[in-house]
Amino acid sequence: MTRVVTVGAAQLGPISREETRSEVVERLRALLAEADTAGCALVVYPELALTTFFPRWYTEDVGGHDHYFETSMPGPDTSALFDDAAQRGIGFSLGYAELTADGHRYNTTVLVERDGRLVAKYRKVHIPGHENDEPWRPFQHLERRYFEPSPDGFGVWPAFGGIVGLATCNDRRWPETYREMGLQGVELILIGYNTPIHYAPDPSQDALAGFHNRLVMSAGAYQNGTWVVGVAKGGNEEGVDALAESSIIAPSGEVVACALGNGDELVSATIDLDMCRQYTETVFDFGRYRRPEMYQRIGNQRGVAPTASVERER
């Protein structure tokens, strides 16, 4: 019996800094209703799906953006989404800014099953951008000022009939993200992202933003025999153009469904989790073909002048 599940990528357009949580939650619920009509069992929302991407603005006090953070999940503004989803029998993943009781700030995603049960909480591992105001930039990317990196790393969880993993935005650019979950048997990786198209440190990459987005998620899917769902908050948000192109990607690396616009848009597909085995039991049979004893023997040589030969530890 094949394990099929219908997944919805719930792409968001811009969220303005004035938009209230309840106004945003109404947008999330509208996408949930569309997903219900499409027969989805799971809806994937973007990174930081409840607010504008506030790390684009510098505040002297790190707590200056705390009004964009959630101190509980669900909370007073989000319980309507949780209740609506549970009533419809639809699970979801939701990215948001988490402020813990002991004062830690994380870029967090929760995974909720169809019955409303909180299955997992994932905190972003790879925190991009910079820590202090850099006035030379047309806009800031201060995630490293406002978020701590995850202390937990990558996990996978039994859910929706398969093995589900979570990652967030910049995580998707690092091959280790997918392999850490691939080694744990992941079959479906859910990734929300907020990706400015302009990359100030090297503007030559701007034109490649869509290509790099597809490249890393397709590679990660194929090289680990897993489905990948990447979901954007896209469009022009507070003057910054962000990449959309939310996609559902098969273990073959093929994009099976993609958003056409850069606003609120549901993209759905019925995926077969058993397709993972066509890759994990053949070309990427880790037990048979992978050579872990040959990896990680050389530290990070980047930036070190090459020598005639790199002594390998015997």
Which are the catalytic amino acids?
Answer: 47, 124, 169
Question: Of 98-106, 169-177, 181-189, 256-264, which part binds ligand ING (CB under 6 A)?
Answer: 169-177
Distance in angstroms (rounded) separating the CA atoms of residues 220 and 51: 28
> Where does this chain touch ligand ING (CB under 6 A) — which range of 30-38, 151-159, 165-173, 233-241?
165-173
What does the alpha-carbon distance between residue 292 and residue 163 come to, in Å, rounded to a whole number? 23
**Which stretch, 80-88, 150-158, 168-176, 296-304, contacts ligand ING (CB under 6 A)?**
168-176
Nearer to ligand ING, 143 or 265 (CB): 143
Q: What is the DSSP letter of 187?
A: S
Kindly state the smallest distance separating residue 91's Cβ from ligand ING, in Å: 24
Nearest residue to 220 (alpha-carbon basis) of 284, 157, 177? 177
Q: What mask, x for binding ligand ING by CB under 6 A, covers residues 90 to 119?
A: ------------------------------
Give the DSSP H/E element, type plus range, for residue 23.
helix 21-37
Smallest distance, ligand ING to C-beta of residue 195, A: 4
Binding to ligand ING (CB under 6 A) within 275-294 occurs at: none
Q: Show the site string, 177-196: x = touches ligand ING by CB under 6 A, - = not.
A: ----------------xxxx
CB of 240 to ligand ING, least distance (A): 11
Strands (E), the chain: 4-11, 42-44, 91-99, 105-112, 118-123, 156-159, 162-168, 188-193, 227-232, 235-237, 240-242, 247-249, 255-258, 265-272
Residue 53 vs 279, nearer CB to ligand ING: 53
Question: Which residues are paired to 108 by β-bridges?
Answer: 96, 123
Q: Confirm or reject binding of residue 173 to ligand ING (CB under 6 A).
A: yes
Position 150 contacts ligand ING (CB under 6 A): no
Given candidates 64, 74, 116, 128, which one binds ligand ING under the rule CB under 6 A? Answer: 128
d(CA 156, CA 173) in angstroms, rounded, equals 19
Prior bond to 151 cis, omega within 30?
no
Contact in structure between 240 and 196 (CB atoms under 8 Å): yes
* Beta carbon nearer to ligand ING, 159 or 228: 228
- Chain positions 195 to 254 lying near ligand ING, rule: CB under 6 A, are 195-196, 199
Q: Strand 227-232: give its sheet, edge to edge.
A: 156-159, 162-168, 188-193, 227-232, 247-249, 255-258
d(CA 78, CA 80): 5
Minimum Å distance from CB 98 to ligand ING? 15
Q: Rank residues 3 and 144 by Cβ distance to ligand ING and give the closer one.
A: 144
Residue 25 binds ligand ING, judged by CB under 6 A: no
Closer residue to ligand ING, CB minimum distance, 145 or 268: 145
Residues 37-76 that bind ligand ING (CB under 6 A): 47
Q: Least distance from C-beta 110 to ligand ING, angstroms? A: 17
Name which of 55 and 251 has its Cβ closer to ligand ING: 55
Q: What CA–CA distance (Å, rounded) separates 67 from 54?
A: 10
Handedness of CA 27, 113, 82, 56 (dihedral sign): negative
Cα-Cα-Cα-Cα torsion 122, 142, 96, 217, nearest 10 degrees, comes to -60
Q: Closest approach of Cβ 194 to ligand ING, in Å?
A: 5
Q: Which residues bind ligand ING (CB under 6 A)?
A: 47, 128, 169-170, 173, 193-196, 199
